[in-house]
Amino acid sequence: MMSSTAERIKDVIASSDVVLFMKGVPAAPQCGFSAAVVQILSGLKVPFKSVDVLSDPQIREGIKTFSNWPTIPQLYVKGEFLGGSDIVREMFQAGELTALLSDIGVATAKT
C-alpha cells in the first residue's frame, strides 16, 4: 500500500467518530454485508461517515492492508477498527455495540 493511501485512510478515520468502509453508499449498499451494518447503525440512529470502496480501488485494497482484515465492510469507532459485518452483528445482538458506543460518547437511539 502506498503511504499516500494510508494517509488518506487515516484522515478519513480521524474525520468522524464512526466510519464505515463499505461497498456502495448507505442509501444503496452494493452487498448484503454492507447493508447489514448500515441497517444496524441506522437502526441505532448512529451518525456515521461512509466510504464507498467501489468508487476508489486504492482505498478498497488499502483498507484491507491498513486494518489487516481481508473483507469489506469495515467499521471504525473513535479511530479504532471494530470489525466487519459478523462482528458488528454479534456485538449488536449481544447489546455490546450499544454499550460500547454509549461508553465512548457516541449517541444512539438507546442512549
pLDDT (tens digit, 0 to 9) for every residue of the chain, 111 residues total?
568 999 999 999 999 999 999 999 999 999 999 999 999 999 999 999 999 999 999 999 999 999 999 999 999 999 999 999 999 999 999 999 999 999 988 878 754
Output the pLDDT for position 21.
98
Output the pLDDT for position 61.
95
Cell 441497517, residue located: 39
Global confidence as pTM: 0.94
DSSP 23-89: SEETTEESSHHHHHHHHHHHHTT---EEEEGGG-HHHHHHHHHHHT--SS-EEEETTEEEE-HHHHH
CB of 88 closer than 8 Å to CB of 21: no
